[in-house]
A and B are shown apart, each in its own frame.
Chain A
Amino acid sequence: MLSLLIASMLVTGGLDAGGHVGILFPASGLENSHSSTALFGINLGYETGRSRLALDYGYAGLQARQASPYRFDVHELSLGYGYEFARYQSTPGSTSSWGFEASAAAGYSLLSRTLVSARETGKAPAGHVAVGFVQRQGHSRLSLGLDNVIFVESQPAGGARTVSLTYLIALKAGVTYVF
């Protein structure tokens, strides 16, 4: 079933590659000690019809709110699916179009907190839910969107389990080249 699905998509779809930049806003308690920061990443996409599969790498280095040599690095690799629920063509038969896309992704992060020479490393899975504006013209695909990222962590604590959800909001702008 999966191989049939992949085969169908490869026959009907198109590959694209590009990158994105943006701003990451910490929330759910993290904003008390961390300030918003720039993020950037690269991605590889595969589009068929209104659907798009994307493999994305992103990096953000969160800083302390007060001047301090502290940094919290987040490297994330994610795989997601997007659906363009509204698409409008500039003129009938034209290759340029614009629309709105909703997407969901699952990712895995490598984390690092450093303070001078002290360093803690970790890892955490993450879920993404995003919505954005997409514009295509010729070989270019531009996007601007809001990405809601939730990092899920858990650990047994006595007879129970502590689950910690950390929410971050990203405002992203990207450009890809469609082959």
Chain B
Amino acid sequence: MSSRAIAKTALIALCTAGSLWLMSATGCSDMTFYRAKSDYFPLVPGSRWTYQVAGDTAIDSVVGDSSVAGRACVIVLRDYAPEYWTKQLTAVRQFIQLSANRGGYDYVLEERYGLVYALPFVEGATWDESFRDTVVLMGTDTVFLKDSVSGRVAAIEDVETPAGTYIQCYRVDSHREVVAAELSFTLDYSEWLAPGVGLVKRKTGTEEKVLTGYEPGR
């Protein structure tokens, strides 16, 4: 057998074996690259999400860019109410404005971009942020403010919704606690974020919000 014939046979044998192997081995993948390169919170203008919440329909959409509190942000209409979001490679933040009314006037207690998600998502990752301040209203009324948030990437799950099945979703469990006089509240919720889509499901106590339609922006 000449070396040229050996080479040709080896090439054919390897190509055949390699192709067969690649076809069979793809089932043994864990979609790690897929998750690593996917955008789990796309803020593309023109994007529109339709949800079902307790029998009602809610619509979220990205309408464009703006600048709020000296920072470039993206305007998201959540049920037609504007929200201001920023997204960087390491965090997604939402503009928070908390005001208390005293004597017919609104006094701003908190005005900043608060952390919502720390990026990139890796199962088991955690984050927290706490904001504290003391505000004196009308000269005598002292309000102590504490706004803390913590989150954890709890799991990687596939989610079935009326809009379809979304694979490799990250489930993020969050806790937010606001202590600010009559504005105090505590909130625990879980969110499922799908690659290239964003929020597909949100569960707060017994209330569920699920995606029924998604139109990507351009």
Known: A48-B3, A154-B27, A157-B165. A106 touches B32 (CB 8 A): no
Chain B residue contacts of A162, Cβ below 8 A: 31, 34, 167
Chain B residue contacts of A111, Cβ below 8 A: 30, 32-33
Interface pair A12/B3, CB less than 8 Å apart: yes
A90 CB to nearest chain B CB (Å): 21
Interface pair A164/B123, CB less than 8 Å apart: no
Q: Counting CB contacts under 8 A, is A98 at the interface?
A: no
Q: Counting CB contacts under 8 A, is A81 at the interface?
A: yes
Q: Which residue of B22, B120, B166, B167 contacts A106 across the interface (Cβ within 8 Å)?
A: B22
Name A156's closest neighbour in chain B (CB-CB): B167
Interface pair A117/B10, CB less than 8 Å apart: no
Chain A residue contacts of B123, Cβ below 8 A: 118-120
Chain A residue contacts of B32, Cβ below 8 A: 111, 113, 120-124, 153
A43 CB to nearest chain B CB (Å): 16
B146 CB to nearest chain A CB (Å): 25
Q: Counting CB contacts under 8 A, is A86 at the interface?
A: no
Docked CA distance A5–B6 (Å): 7
Interface pair B34/A48, CB less than 8 Å apart: no
Q: Counting CB contacts under 8 A, is B36 at the interface?
A: yes
Interface pair B14/A104, CB less than 8 Å apart: yes
Interface pair A106/B29, CB less than 8 Å apart: no
Docked CA distance A115–B11 (Å): 42
Interface size, chain A (Cβ < 8 Å)? 57
Name B118's closest neighbour in chain A (CB-CB): A115
Q: Counting CB contacts under 8 A, is B88 at the interface?
A: yes
Docked CA distance A99–B1 (Å): 24
Docked CA distance A70–B122 (Å): 9
A168 CB to nearest chain B CB (Å): 9
Q: Counting CB contacts under 8 A, is B80 at the interface?
A: no
Interface pair A81/B30, CB less than 8 Å apart: no
Interface pair B9/A5, CB less than 8 Å apart: yes
Chain A residue contacts of B10, Cβ below 8 A: 5, 9, 51, 53, 81
Q: Counting CB contacts under 8 A, is A114 at the interface?
A: yes
Chain A residue contacts of B15, Cβ below 8 A: 81, 104
Q: Counting CB contacts under 8 A, is A92 at the interface?
A: no
Chain B residue contacts of A125, Cβ below 8 A: 21-22, 25-26, 28-29
Known: A108-B25, A118-B123, A157-B167. A30 touches B89 (CB 8 A): no
Interface pair A119/B122, CB less than 8 Å apart: yes
A103 CB to nearest chain B CB (Å): 10
Q: Counting CB contacts under 8 A, is B71 at the interface?
A: no
Interface pair A118/B33, CB less than 8 Å apart: no
Interface pair A115/B122, CB less than 8 Å apart: yes
Chain B residue contacts of A95, Cβ below 8 A: none
Q: Counting CB contacts under 8 A, is B18 at the interface?
A: yes
Docked CA distance A158–B167 (Å): 9
Interface pair A50/B3, CB less than 8 Å apart: yes
Q: Counting CB contacts under 8 A, is A155 at the interface?
A: yes
Of A8, A83, A127, most B-chain CB atoms within 10 Å: A8
Q: Which residues of A contact B (CB under 8 A)?
A: 2, 4-5, 8-9, 12, 28-30, 32-34, 48-51, 53, 64-66, 68, 70, 72, 79-81, 83, 104-106, 108, 111, 113-125, 127, 151-155, 157-158, 162-164, 166
Q: Which residues of B contact A (CB under 8 A)?
A: 1, 3-4, 6-7, 9-11, 13-15, 17-18, 21-22, 25-39, 88-90, 120, 122-126, 153, 156, 158, 160, 164-168
Apart from the given pairs A51-B3, A113-B120, A155-B167, 9 other A-B contacts in the complex at a CB distance below 8 Å: A5-B10, A49-B3, A68-B120, A79-B14, A113-B35, A123-B28, A124-B30, A153-B30, A155-B31
